[in-house]
Structure 1
């Protein structure tokens, strides 16, 4: 059991006596079992579905989007984010926070013996990065209110995490305002409203204000989602440098851990900037393999069939779904739902491979043949260290449930390809099989 009840804002409960109220008030880390129970989402199936019309059944299909199946890779992300928050509070105490704010106001550099954590979580679109980050953060209260610590007054609001999106215009000011808005939503402040007069202020002034707010409210983790926006905008307008400089300043000069979330497109930017390489290491997600983890996922969602009859999960249907979705969870759910919709519209009793193909054609789903380097979500295991792909790892080929291409032809023992594959010399092979003629002239 967590020491805090579910909720957005909670009163501080201290465990330990480190002398740091923010660290002693940290929520407990959940076990894999507790985490799975906290994030799982399986919508109820109506008990009277047998009496429903096809239109009413189709009305139930949107509930498929709320299915969330706990998997080991999600716990790996939770563990990463939790430790990032803990690192912030092992770095920051009351004295350091005060010194940092004074330094910001005076325009001086801030230097700490230990910096906060930073990294990134990148993955193929549809693997569930954003949804997983939201659910991981939802297992912790966002705000902890302090009143008294070790017999001394200590009134403040500790913000464990903030979640914002990278601005599409790659603007430092827009990101700064987004952080202020997220902080306002968290603690009910009006920082964004109070900066209306700063709309004409320089980007550096907004950046300084943001650093002060992050430090003053003891923000443990700042998650910047859709970081690939910086890359896409940079390609068009060449404006990535000011934003990147600002992000590096945040990681260096605040005591807030920062994690970037996005697609593998962002990796191109991270590895191209020397100062970003070490600050952006982290989990890289690739889709399911056609293996037991994929089948377990299908078994969890398979009861959610709203057709008249439930189709059996055969090997053939499982392979068809994998080949059409590429093992991407969002595509699997989308195809599964649209297949049922098409079956109900056509008056079919259950889904089959033809219906699945029709759904894929209607949705115009085309999965790539290669993916950026990463760890397949099938390969995460509790109790196993997550492998990190090297920076120069090549793209991984798209896997299929069914083998593609023509079957290998049967070849005679005398075939040259057989000799080559067996490591036999060509001359010896020709001589052994009577294909080599001796010339006795002269």
Structure 2
């Protein structure tokens, strides 16, 4: 397997441990839990999850070529819906409860590490039995969650956004005055390989930890030892050593494509939660339900915290109305199209309540309208964008629109077999109403606007790639402080210019400090000091060496020769 076949991992923040007082007694005296952010309230989830594109009325008067780029901002649109609050609540629970049996202050934590280390010395064929015998007296508290839904509904976007609300790595040095040297990985997200190969999944796990910590576990365990069961054992050890709070595995429907027995891979998930207590979140399309129904034990373990069946939004539902009403506000056309009940229903028929289809269709419709004289979204433009620009998915949309079971079953990513669904997640109308109420609250709206401006700036400024001395955390803190000094309706580009100006100043300041430290470390004629001088004066090292007498003038030396 080539390295480039491993999907790049999602990366979050790195923090030093700050321990917080816990409201629940079972969560106290556990450094892994106390270092986590406090349990999020619904208000905090709304603030942190929401992402709206920046739009200014003056931008609608700009040239068409500029507005074509502005319209693309809609791709960053994330609207919190009841499903997101439900998933966050379950994620918050399984992370904390997974740490109950893995308290680094408890003797059972070290027993686990010792058992795992001892088992590695046992013969290959005897390892699984030895592991089960030795670990059976240590109770697991880990739960797992399955999120199954139609392709494009926003499962991956939602889980990634929720994970990023937590730091990914927490470094522990001291707890209550006592030394505690631990590196805690709060969450780890990997994708199931397209071919469903178990060995590739194991290697993705090692590669993910290497990318985060700068280790070489992929080389040590992934390439030198190609026996899958051994790699699984090393995964278990690393998950315990680094206190992984939750392992998220996306695209699990790829297990259907596996040449190996897919039951073997799901059996690994069961072993992971049973023996080490690592919570897992499995994400996939409805195709994945075929895997779970094969064995009751696997189905139960794959959804001990509940199976969330995430279906598309239904027509005329509060969820759909709230989503499309919010999205519809982001128009960069000279003539705004009002969202009537008739237009809502027409747009729904073209996207069938699938989040990603709705967002992309809205972008494409605006781009087409931008090239017309009226610059206005019409039914004809929406229909043309749907049929021509999204022609690849038209058979699926048609099957869903007509509710044709036979046709739907041809597209396994969108099929819903009612016989397979053991738990149907229902939208909370009460929660949807609360989101509307929050969004209308003036104070909340101001906070939401500031956060949204900061989120967009973080993306824009990071992509510049010119702040080589600033960490992501430093840049984010600078951006949020700068945004807070401006008014909520101030021009986005004005704020962006100020952020870039301050970031450049801070970047140069750090660079000068580093150069000063380096110069103080080196003597005047130290070659490293001479190199630093050449960089500062923007001269070639040869010139500085010559200036300091290290290189003689070749002409003068030649004339001296007798």
Please give the TM-score of this superposition, normalised by the length of structure 1. 0.79
For each residue in 1:94-137, what CA deviation from the matched residue of structure 2 results, as whole angstroms up to 9, or x when unmatched? 32232122222322322222331112111111211100000111
| Pairing partner for 1:202 from 216, 227, 242 | 227
| Pairing partner for 1:340 from 326, 346, 366 | 366
CA distance in 2, matches of 1:278, 1:83: 18
* Pairing 1:125-204 to 2, within 5 Å after superposition: 125-195=151-221, 197-198=223-224, 200-204=225-229
Tell whether 2:237 aligns with 1:212: yes
Q: Secondary structure at the match of 2:336?
A: coil
For the Cα contact (< 8 Å) 1:166–1:227, is it kept in 2?
yes
For the Cα contact (< 8 Å) 2:365–2:377, is it kept in 1?
yes
CA distance in 2, matches of 1:197, 1:77: 36
Instruction: Select between 70-79 and 247-256 the one with higher mean Cα deviation.
Output: 247-256
Tell whether 2:107 aligns with 1:106: no
For the Cα contact (< 8 Å) 1:23–1:86, is it kept in 2?
yes
List gaps (5 residues or longer) in structure 2: 1-11, 120-129, 406-414, 434-562
**May I ask how many residue pairs the two structures share in their alignment?**
375
CA distance in 2, matches of 1:58, 1:249: 51
| Pairing partner for 1:274 from 261, 283, 296 | 296
For each residue in 1:26-69, what CA deviation from the matched residue of structure 2 results, as whole angstroms up to 9, or x when unmatched? 32111111101001111211453233222222222221110111
Compared CA separation, residues 382 and 317, structure 1 to 2 (3 A): closer
What is the aligned-residue RMSD (CA, Å)?
Answer: 2.2
CA distance in 2, matches of 1:336, 1:274: 42
Tell whether 2:289 aligns with 1:260: no
Shift >6 Å, 4+ stretches: none
Relative to total residues, which structure has the larger helix share, 1 or 2?
2
Compared CA separation, residues 273 and 32, structure 1 to 2 (3 A): same
* Pairing 1:252-401 to 2, within 5 Å after superposition: 252-281=274-303, 282-290=307-315, 291-362=317-388, 363-364=390-391, 365-366=393-394, 367=397, 368=400, 369=403, 371-372=415-416, 373=418, 375=424, 378-379=427-428, 381-382=430-431
Q: Secondary structure at the match of 2:36?
A: coil
For the Cα contact (< 8 Å) 2:16–2:172, is it kept in 1?
no
Q: Secondary structure at the match of 1:155?
A: strand
Partner of 1:400: none
Partner of 2:551: none
Partner of 1:224: 249
List gaps (5 residues or longer) in structure 1: 1-5, 385-442
CA distance in 2, matches of 1:197, 1:137: 30
| Pairing partner for 2:19 from 13, 16, 34 | 13
Offset at 1:145?
A: 1.3
Partner of 1:36: 46
Please give the TM-score of this superposition, normalised by the length of structure 2. 0.63
Compared CA separation, residues 322 and 379, structure 1 to 2 (3 A): farther
